[in-house]
Amino acid sequence: MKFKKLLGAALLGTGLVAGLASCGGEDESHTIVFYHTMGDSLQAVLNPAIEKFQNEHAGWKVKSTVISGGYDGVKNAITADLQAQTPPSVAYCYADHVADYLTTDKVVDLNKWIKDSEVGYSSAEIADFVEGYYVEGTEFGDPTKMYTLPYSKSTEVVYYNKDVVKELGLEKYVKADWTWDDLWAACEIIKKSDYKAWFPMGYDSEANWFITYCEQAGYGYTSATEPHYLFDNKEAKAWLEEIKGYYGKGYFTTQKILGGYTSNLFTKKRFEYDKDGNRVGDKDSSKDGKFQSCVFSIGSTGGASHQTSTEFNVGIVNVPRVTGKELKCISQGPSLVMFDQGNDEKQKMTWLFVKSILEPEYQASFSRASGYMPVRKSALEIPAYKKWLEEAEDNKDIIAMTSKVASSLVDNYFTSPAFRGSAKARVKINAAVVAAISGTKTIDEALKDAYDECNF
């Protein structure tokens, strides 16, 4: 609690609260304040939903508040507001961040409203949520409590250069049921080809790679109950030793090592163009080592728009699985958390607004605009959405293509436990993976340091 007070005081000193709290004297008793990070394209979907809600509930207003700084910016703003006793009504959130909010007793247990006989969800409506998304709200150490509902979700997929894969005959490896062994076999072939100067694979999140592999293989990462930090184990060390060897062979790079998203490497320009935009020559100098790109780019489905190119055909497939194990894909993207406003009527209206933006029709529209997956299964059956997915390949629509793959993985998603310190674990394990594979620390040192820092 002492730490919470110090953190809150520090944030108060930054002026965040002054900028985000209720404006001086303004009556917001009938205003639902929604913190999020949506840009213009996503607000174009949100704003009509807000207008519809306000028209249906006369006298009530939804105040859409864009917070800068991404999800961490939202966390910082909410932390400051909780300290000042002025939290928003509802907000975008990551489960790791909600675990910190729970120390304030201001987070609403959504079961109060989910199970409400008048405005709650029926058992059929609950079953309509993608299970892997829905259960995240219960994974805070007490499964009888529900602290979040999924809003828009993403996972990781492999974007790949279809032209190079075809040229090198790698189709036998790159398929829906492929394994990490298949990926490494393909990387070996690439490094012996005319593309030997390329990184065969780029991974945008070192932490996600570690967490996903631990989940697939059954190694320990974290636990919702004590002891929380399980990642300093011999199995994880052996795996890091394995991929360190592949890194030494030039099989991959990562975001931190590269110094930027590997999608930038994947989509890097390879050709010269004349003033009319016609391609006039291949400047690919991979044979003499002057040009680098990558064949496989592993990144978020929410970032699909950054993984497209006009210079080669892009393919999309799920991440590989561990040989002999089931496919597990990490669940990412924001959920919704409600905060106690000290007013039951306002809390009920906030709940009704939350329900309105979780309706299948809204979810389908938001998915098409964002690349994030709908959280309701019935959204996938809406005719316009279904047609959009079916025509993805013909239209070369990268967002639709990605969503089509992601929608096939709804039974494979997993989430990590959320507890106070789980966000810190992700940061520390990300740094540990980079240090271990790049050799700035031994593997033992990297994991031990991460463990010690998480427990500090």
Query: What is d(CA 394, CA 396) in angstroms, rounded to the nearest whole number?
Result: 6
Query: What is d(CA 235, CA 213) in angstroms, rounded to the nearest whole number?
Result: 11
Backbone angles phi, psi at 162, to 5 degrees: -65, -30
**pLDDT of the residue at 410:** 86
Query: What is d(CA 279, CA 43) in angstroms, rounded to the nearest whole number?
Result: 37
Measured over the CA atoms of residue 156, residue 161, residue 162 and residue 165, the dihedral's sign is negative
* pLDDT surpasses 90 at 308: yes
**pLDDT of the residue at 298:** 98
Which of the two residues, 172 and 20, has the higher pLDDT score?
172
Rounded to 5, what percent of the chain is helix, strand, coil? 50, 15, 35
**pLDDT of the residue at 281:** 63
Query: What is d(CA 358, CA 223) in angstroms, rounded to the nearest whole number?
Result: 29
Average pLDDT over residues 44-51: 97
**pLDDT of the residue at 26:** 57
Query: What is d(CA 443, CA 241) in angstroms, rounded to the nearest whole number?
Result: 7
Structure tokens at 207: 């932490």
Q: Which residues pair with 229 in a beta bridge?
A: 222
Residue that the structure tokens 């828009």 belong to: 152
Backbone angles phi, psi at 234, to 5 degrees: -65, -30
Tens-digit pLDDT profile for residues 361-372: 999 999 999 989
* pLDDT surpasses 90 at 456: no
Tens-digit pLDDT profile for residues 22-34: 444 456 889 999 9
* pLDDT surpasses 50 at 265: yes
Structure tokens at 98: 């909600």
C-alpha separations of 286 from 282, 292, 420 in Å? 11, 6, 47
Interacting residues of 168 by C-beta distance below 8 A, sequence separation 6+: 189, 190, 193, 195
Tens-digit pLDDT profile for residues 125-148: 999 999 989 999 998 888 999 999
**pLDDT of the residue at 269:** 77
**pLDDT of the residue at 270:** 74
Within 13 A of 161's CA, how many CA atoms are on the CB side?
A: 30
Within 13 A of 173's CA, how many CA atoms are on the CB side?
A: 20
**pLDDT of the residue at 9:** 39
* pLDDT surpasses 80 at 289: no
Average pLDDT over residues 161-174: 97
Tens-digit pLDDT profile for residues 59-96: 999 999 999 999 999 999 999 999 999 999 999 999 99
Interacting residues of 96 by C-beta distance below 8 A, sequence separation 6+: 418, 422, 423, 426
* pLDDT surpasses 70 at 1: no
330 pLDDT tier (thresholds 50, 70, 90): very high
Backbone angles phi, psi at 330, to 5 degrees: -70, 140
CB contact at 8 A, 87 and 78: yes
**pLDDT of the residue at 280:** 67
Per DSSP bridges, beta strands 335-338 and 149-150 are: antiparallel
- The overall average pLDDT reported for the chain is 91
C-alpha separations of 394 from 348, 351, 388, 400 in Å? 45, 40, 10, 10
Average pLDDT over residues 214-218: 97
CB contact at 8 A, 73 and 65: no
Which of the two residues, 310 and 445, has the higher pLDDT score?
445
Structural domains for the chain: 2-154+333-402 (3.40.190.10), 156-330+421-455 (3.40.190.10)
CB contact at 8 A, 141 and 96: no
CB contact at 8 A, 367 and 152: yes
Query: What is d(CA 434, CA 4) in angstroms, rounded to the nearest whole number?
Result: 30
Which of the two residues, 333 and 317, has the higher pLDDT score?
317
Query: What is d(CA 395, CA 380) in angstroms, rounded to the nearest whole number?
Result: 19
292 pLDDT tier (thresholds 50, 70, 90): confident
DSSP state of 395: H
Q: Which of 242, 217, 209, 178 is nearest to 405 (CA)?
A: 178
* Burial letters 57-73, b for 16+ CB under 10 A, else e: beebebeeeebeeebee
* pLDDT surpasses 50 at 13: no
CB contact at 8 A, 294 and 266: yes
282 pLDDT tier (thresholds 50, 70, 90): low
Which helix (H) or strand (E) element contains residue 169? Answer: none
Q: To the nearest whole percent, how much of the chain has pLDDT over 70?
A: 90
**pLDDT of the residue at 430:** 97
Which of the two residues, 3 and 166, has the higher pLDDT score?
166
Tens-digit pLDDT profile for residues 370-394: 989 999 999 999 999 999 999 999 9
Per DSSP bridges, beta strands 31-36 and 61-66 are: parallel
Query: What is d(CA 6, CA 316) in angstroms, rounded to the nearest whole number?
Result: 46
**pLDDT of the residue at 22:** 41
Tens-digit pLDDT profile for residues 393-408: 999 999 999 999 999 9
CB count within 10 Å of CB 302 equals 22
CA 401, chain centre distance (Å)? 18
Interacting residues of 345 by C-beta distance below 8 A, sequence separation 6+: none
